[in-house]
Chain A
Amino acid sequence: MASPPQISSTPQSIFRPNAKHREAISKIFRIICAIGLGIGLVVLGLLLVDVFQDGFARLWQPGFFTGNASRFAQKAGLRTALLGSVWLLILLLLISVPIGVGAAVYLEEYAPKNRLSQFIEINIANLAGVPSIVYGLLGLGIFNELFGLGPTLLSGALTLSLLILPLIIVASREAIRGVPQSMREASYGLGATKWQTVSNHVLPYAIPGIVTGVIISVSRAVGETAPLIVVGAVGYLTSNPGLLRRFSALPIQIFDWISRPQAAFTNTAAAGIIVLLALLFVMNGTAIYIRNRFSTFR
């Protein structure tokens, strides 16, 4: 490496630490990283400002919450879409929560360490990565066609339930795993059966975590558009939604308004987005509140 004369000189001379220069670069690197983090947050801020500028005024015009779909941007209202989303929310809770929590209990408390359990776990991990629109195709093929439900609210709700099932399972499992083993031992030690232990101690203890996970998962479904398009939700609906009727939903209604060529619909769409974001904000805020409230309690 170094030539002989250099070695014969003082040992330090073959090193050039150049500390000042390197420190300066290191400081710049820190700033670059901070900027990288900042860009994402700034864009999020821009997005919110843009949406509010476009839609805030429209939000308060008469009939926005109570009007039905219309060809005229100024008359178009959210009523059927809001009703559709509320319906979906209720159905989602009814369908996906029992199944998701049941699956989580099975995997955490019951599943033997065998191939089947391992297969189920890998399968759930994989499902979480399937694009949402593919769930739409699943709903179209199975619920609409095979079950003959057609493009109905029920079909949409079933599709979204399957979509968020992996999320609910993962969140519930985490909550169940947080239950101290001593709690289970105390219960078994008194001669409780497995189900008595699970229903009396494990689930009550895990409930705050499960509720948080469920709200976050369901809020994801409330913002989903693509699978509902595929199962046949429509953005132009003038009648009330029903279990076996065509339906709309907030994101579908927003998409419909965005797709319209008239510029005035831009503001209507933005107003719809504000409502959707507000709904998600409230849901997620509730979830975080529950998590913090109960994690400090324990």
Chain B
Amino acid sequence: MQLTHQTSTAQGTSIISTQDVNIFYGSFLAVKQINLDILRNKITAFIGPSGCGKSTLLRAFNRLNDLIVGARVDGTISYKGRNLYAPEIDPVEVRRQIGMVFQRPNPFPKSIYENIAFGARINGYRGDMDELVERSLRQAAIWDEVKDKLKQSGLSLSGGQQQRLCIARAMAVQPEVILMDEPASALDPISTLRIEDLMQELKEQYTIIIVTHNMQQASRVADMTAFFNVELTDGKRSGCLVEYDKTEQIFQNPQQQSTQEYVTGRFG
């Protein structure tokens, strides 16, 4: 993994970095020995077969795994040089700075307006709420579609619109990093492309990490790509990081044979 560090420092400044991270569910080791640096204002894709722990790792970045009883993180995950799992760190604050978009669109069963305003309000936003709502919706490229029905339920939108609403919702609290857990897997191809375009526009202001099953998607949107795989230790399956590099490198000239096999579709 030395290679990883070299490449990353050459590419830009790191915002999140992990050292020897192991993630457990109870006694089950879900993810082991992860070392990687996420670069600021880049899009990083996590790819790999099911069960390789990429979502688990993603959720560890904003401490969403805390909600699962028995989940535990070993090693250090640091964000801007601070260990996210240090005792004085508040997971709530972490999530305010590291936002999340989920696999299935999950708007609140409230109005479109309230979906956006909620996060800002709990974060003590004192500015003009109407303006913030409009700006967030514009950023998420959904303003034109919803501007006349802000009072309608977020659930009244189509799946693709709901997901963009969820992205707008995440952006309204102005995080530094947005984690996206297979954000397009439940969407049609056109909605998927819209979200990919959106990500490109957002990366000027945000660092984005996206978990995806779709290799086309990773190669289209990501600057950096990390390939994870399942490894058998003592008959138990746990996820590990195989290779992490610039996206072109991963797809065109992977160093590891399993990466090569995965990106050319020979397994997974």
- Say if the two chains contact directly (CB < 8 Å): yes
Interface residues of A (CB under 8 A from B): 113, 180, 182-193, 196, 200-201, 204-205, 298
B173–A191 touching, CB < 8 Å: yes
Q: In terms of DSSP, what is the predominant structure of the interface of chain A?
A: helix
Distance in angstroms from A113 CB to nearest chain B CB is 6
Q: How far is the CA of A185 from the CA of B110 in the complex (A)?
A: 16
Distance in angstroms from A121 CB to nearest chain B CB is 16
- The 8 listed contacts between A and B (C-beta, < 8 Å) are A180-B106, A185-B67, A186-B102, A186-B107, A190-B99, A190-B169, A191-B93, A196-B122
Please report the total number of B residues contacting A with Cβ < 8 Å. Answer: 27
Which residue of the partner chain B has the closest CB to A196?
A: B122
Distance in angstroms from A210 CB to nearest chain B CB is 15
Q: How far is the CA of A187 from the CA of B109 in the complex (A)?
A: 12
B64 contacts partner chain A, Cβ-Cβ < 8 Å: yes
B102–A192 touching, CB < 8 Å: no
Which residue among A187, A190, A192, A204 has the maximum number of chain B CB atoms within 10 Å of its CB? A190
B123 contacts partner chain A, Cβ-Cβ < 8 Å: yes
B96–A191 touching, CB < 8 Å: yes
A189–B122 touching, CB < 8 Å: no
Interface residues of B (CB under 8 A from A): 62, 64, 67, 69, 92-97, 99-100, 102, 104, 106-110, 118-119, 122-123, 166, 169-170, 173
B69–A182 touching, CB < 8 Å: no
B106 partner residues in chain A, CB cutoff 8 A: 180, 182-183, 185-186
A187 partner residues in chain B, CB cutoff 8 A: 108, 118
B100 is contacted by which of A113, A180, A189, A193 (Cβ under 8 Å)?
A189
Distance in angstroms from A194 CB to nearest chain B CB is 8
B123 partner residues in chain A, CB cutoff 8 A: 190-191
Which residue among B95, B96, B123 has the maximum number of chain A CB atoms within 10 Å of its CB? B95
- 17 further A-B pairs in the complex, CB-CB below 8 A; given A192-B95, A193-B122: A182-B104, A182-B106, A183-B106, A185-B106, A186-B106, A186-B107, A188-B64, A188-B92, A189-B64, A189-B99, A190-B118, A191-B95, A191-B119, A191-B123, A196-B122, A200-B118, A204-B110
